[in-house]
């Protein structure tokens, strides 16, 4: 989840 959160921006 932590990893996903870092990549939700462009």
Partner 1 sequence: MTLFRLAGDLSHVLAILLLLYKIWTTKSAAGISGKTQLMFCMVYVTRYLDLFTSFISVYNSTMKVLFISASVATVYLIYFKFKATYDGNHDTFRMEFVIVPALILALIWNYAFTFFEISWAFSIFLEAVAILPQLFMVTKTGEAENITSHYLFALGSYRALYILNWIDRYYFEGHWDPIAVTAGIVQTVLYGDFFYLYFTRVIKGRKLQVLP
Q: Which DSSP helix (H) or strand (E) runs through 6?
A: helix 2-6
Minimum CB–partner distance for residue 1 and partner 1 (Å): 12
Minimum CB–partner distance for residue 10 and partner 1 (Å): 5
* Rg over CA atoms, the chain: 6
Where in 1-10 is the site for partner 1 (CB under 8 A)?
A: 2-10
Total residues contacting partner 1 (rule CB under 8 A)? Answer: 9
Which residues here bind partner 1, judged by CB under 8 A?
2-10
């Amino acid at each position: 989840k932590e990893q996903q959160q870092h990549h939700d921006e462009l």
